Structure 1
Amino acid sequence: MNSGMTLILITLVAFAVTALLGFVMIPFLHKLKFGQTILDIGPAWHKKKQGTPTMGGVMFIIGITAAVVIGVSTLWLSPAAQGYLGDPRGNIKLFAGVAMALAFGAVGFLDDYIKVVKHRNLGLTARQKYLMQLVIGVFYLVMLYIAGDRSTAVAVPFFGSLELGPFYYLLAMIIITGFVNAVNLTDGLDGLSSSVTFVYAVIFLVIAGILQFGQASVIAAALAGGTLGFLVWNFYPAKVFMGDTGSLFLGGLVVALAFQVGMPLLLVFAGVVFWCEAFSVIIQVCYFKATHGKRLFKMSPIHHHFEMCGWSEVKIVSVFALVGLLGGALAVWSVLLL
């Protein structure tokens, strides 16, 4: 089996396992009464979603992980795909990226468990969650260092390379924790985070192909298949939510793909929706404090602002996915100019 067929296999495995798990997981989550609690701070019409099963991210966590293992094994064993994965040290980066995503997913699972089972609506405290994320981020950067990724220069799209020295690691930690939480914030409407992440995965499948990073192609193909499989159940009206379990896992893979190809700043373009969501919250909080109670947006994150403006969930998801596609096109363009 050649590399192209293997990538198709990876995508199909991730899609099929994730989609089929819905038939088992959703009734199981209903039986356990793992329903989403809708807080009063959100849009009032979201109350009708009360009780929709959450923690469904387990579905694509299993699907994506299985697809990566099957894909890498197939590439190793197939004579037609010999050499596709390139430098064996790249496999350390691949598995470190998946391990990082699984670790973030575990933090999300703990958060969801506290919310749903222990009936504490806010779950882990922000400090607890961030400290765990810092530890995971440090682990990932250490694994990249072991894999031979020791450059402290960062590629700036359209401008060239910039040497940062020790400040590279500070920037890397900000990117890792920032984007993981940004993906988490994007998960606020039916199908939003999974749709935007699907587009992101497809973009990085193209970028990995251009740069000939076989390991990144494996992750991107699995991520695309898994998010598409989840959309079968998560698109409006959602039958299941991914919860922090799923969104933090997705955030880990989003970050891993950018570091896998050695260009974390591609997230400026390819991850435009994610950082806009995060900055809308930061701007709202700062504006609220500076103006003693006034709001710049009707509600944050920004997707709720558009809801309050009368946009339907389907329209918001469609527009945000399109914005992600346009940002991704800029990312691809910047790579082609290298």
Structure 2
Amino acid sequence: MIRFALVVASTLGFFLTAAIGNLMVPLLRALSRPHQEGQKEPVQPSPGWSPQEHGVPTLGGLCFMTGTLAAVGMGWTVVCLLQPELLGDGSQMTTRLLLMLGGAFAFGAVGLADDLARLRPPQILGLRTGTRLALELAAAVGVVLALYTSECLPTGWAWPGLGYLELGAGAGPVWAALLVALAESARCLNGPDGVCSGAAFVAMLGLMSTMTLLGYFPLAVLPAALAGALMAFLLWNFPPARLLPGMTGCLFLAGGVGCVPLAIGRPALILALGLPFFAAGALELAQTLWRRLAHKALFPVWPLERWLERRGLRPETVFCLFCGLAVCGLVLAMQLARLG
């Protein structure tokens, strides 16, 4: 019967995001117009920015964030009606669900601050790096502290062949650093190719599968709702994109991919399901370090999607490439769930 709740959550996520998108796209386009008119000359590209997507409205993450929140609320209501014992069981199902949602929205709020800063012509590159990292770190520390006070914080992680690696007091800083690294990596995929939404959609399918194997099937209402919402959002975000998730959407998705595994005590799943994000982040780091050390760019065109397109790949092919990488992460996550 819980499967019915997942169907309700994913269906509501799809239709609510589609409806909210139809209402918000004109508003988001109007919000981005003053920024476009105020920019007279091109600026130095930042991660996720390119002239090709100039003029495409951003802040689209607000669409699937709102749709997901409403769908999760309805889906969890159905779950509790079907299994009332979940409200007071020892596994803290409701607490874990709130921690997942709170963590995702905390990172989404950091992304929203970055996007709002970009709407002001003097700050079209968004928040300063130090300010952004400080806010992401604050969100990560908040998530870790909330998990700790709720007695849901994992103190280690299980790896095939190595057993359970206990981190003790070092677990909190490691999880916070991992969340910040995932958020920074997700920022690199805010392009018009739909790769961030597509990769996150596959990751949500992976979370639904692994949570079933690990005994957290009722909590799968969150990835189910978000998967449905992302499917609707891809109607606008699939290349050629008519709406971008913005840093709001990218960091919200990073928060979801990072906080859900932590809340169920399986942090190793972050590395598997976040594989496309970490790959893009690693290449961005290599580009930055090479530029500073060798005083030239490792990749002549950046961000990564633009470089791949300059190499002859179509945007649709780039989308499929990242989704294929996400599927590899999904398979790895399934193996970790079975062995762990």
Say yes or no: TM over 0.5.
yes
Distance 1:151 1:204, change over 3 A: closer
1: CA distance, partners of 2:300 / 2:260:
33
Match of 1:113 in 2: 116
Residue aligned with 2:282, SS: helix
Distance 1:299 1:118, change over 3 A: closer
Distance 1:323 1:32, change over 3 A: closer
Match of 1:285 in 2: 288
Task: Please state how far the C-alpha of 1:143 moved relative to its aligned partner.
Answer: 1.4
Match of 1:312 in 2: 314
1: CA distance, partners of 2:34 / 2:314:
23
Match of 2:330 in 1: 328
Q: Which structure 2 residues correspond to residues 202-213 of structure 1 after superposition, within 5 A?
A: 202-213=205-216
Match of 1:128 in 2: 131
Gaps of 5+ in 2: 37-41
2: CA distance, partners of 1:204 / 1:71:
16
Match of 2:54 in 1: 50
Residue aligned with 1:189, SS: coil
Task: Please state how far the C-alpha of 1:170 moved relative to its aligned partner.
Answer: 1.6
Alignment of 1:199 with 2:202, yes or no, is yes
Aligned length: 334
Alignment of 1:76 with 2:75, yes or no, is no
Q: Which structure 2 residues correspond to residues 170-209 of structure 1 after superposition, within 5 A?
A: 170-209=173-212
Residue aligned with 1:237, SS: coil
1: CA distance, partners of 2:88 / 2:257:
20
1:61 to 32, 41, 65: 65
1:298 to 297, 300, 314: 300
Match of 2:3 in 1: 4
1: CA distance, partners of 2:78 / 2:7:
12
2: CA distance, partners of 1:179 / 1:142:
18
Distance 1:245 1:151, change over 3 A: closer
Amino acid at match of 2:14: F
Residue aligned with 1:298, SS: coil
Alignment of 1:41 with 2:40, yes or no, is no
Kindly provide the CA deviation profile for residues 18-74 of structure 1, in whole angstroms up to 9, marking residues without a partner as x. 11212111112223345776745379x953432211111110010011111111112
2: CA distance, partners of 1:134 / 1:108:
13
2: CA distance, partners of 1:67 / 1:23:
17
Amino acid at match of 2:5: T
Match of 2:149 in 1: 146
| C-alpha contact 2:100 2:256 (8 A) present in aligned 1 | yes
Task: Please state how far the C-alpha of 1:298 moved relative to its aligned partner.
Answer: 3.3
Residue aligned with 1:262, SS: coil
Residue aligned with 1:168, SS: helix
| C-alpha contact 1:277 1:303 (8 A) present in aligned 2 | no
| C-alpha contact 2:10 2:227 (8 A) present in aligned 1 | yes
Aligned-residue RMSD, C-alpha? 2.3
Task: Please state how far the C-alpha of 1:303 moved relative to its aligned partner.
Answer: 2.7
Kindly provide the CA deviation profile for residues 152-174 of structure 1, in whole angstroms up to 9, marking residues without a partner as x. 22222453210112221121111
Amino acid at match of 1:17: L
Q: TM-score, normalised by structure 2?
A: 0.91
Residue aligned with 1:166, SS: helix
Distance 1:269 1:300, change over 3 A: farther
Match of 2:25 in 1: 26
Q: TM-score, normalised by structure 1?
A: 0.91
| C-alpha contact 2:201 2:230 (8 A) present in aligned 1 | yes
| C-alpha contact 2:193 2:315 (8 A) present in aligned 1 | yes
Task: Please state how far the C-alpha of 1:129 moved relative to its aligned partner.
Answer: 1.3
Task: Please state how far the C-alpha of 1:191 moved relative to its aligned partner.
Answer: 1.1
Gaps of 5+ in 1: none
| C-alpha contact 1:184 1:248 (8 A) present in aligned 2 | yes
Match of 2:172 in 1: 169
Kindly provide the CA deviation profile for residues 260-296 of structure 1, in whole angstroms up to 9, marking residues without a partner as x. 2311122222211110100101111212222232x33
Q: Once structures 1 and 2 are overlaid, which stretch shifts more, 300-309 or 56-65? A: 300-309
Kindly provide the CA deviation profile for residues 293-335 of structure 1, in whole angstroms up to 9, marking residues without a partner as x. 2x33333443333122121111001011011101210210121
2: CA distance, partners of 1:228 / 1:34:
27
Kindly provide the CA deviation profile for residues 82-134 of structure 1, in whole angstroms up to 9, marking residues without a partner as x. 54995452322221221122122122112111211455212211111111111
1: CA distance, partners of 2:292 / 2:28:
40
| C-alpha contact 1:280 1:300 (8 A) present in aligned 2 | no
| C-alpha contact 2:192 2:244 (8 A) present in aligned 1 | no
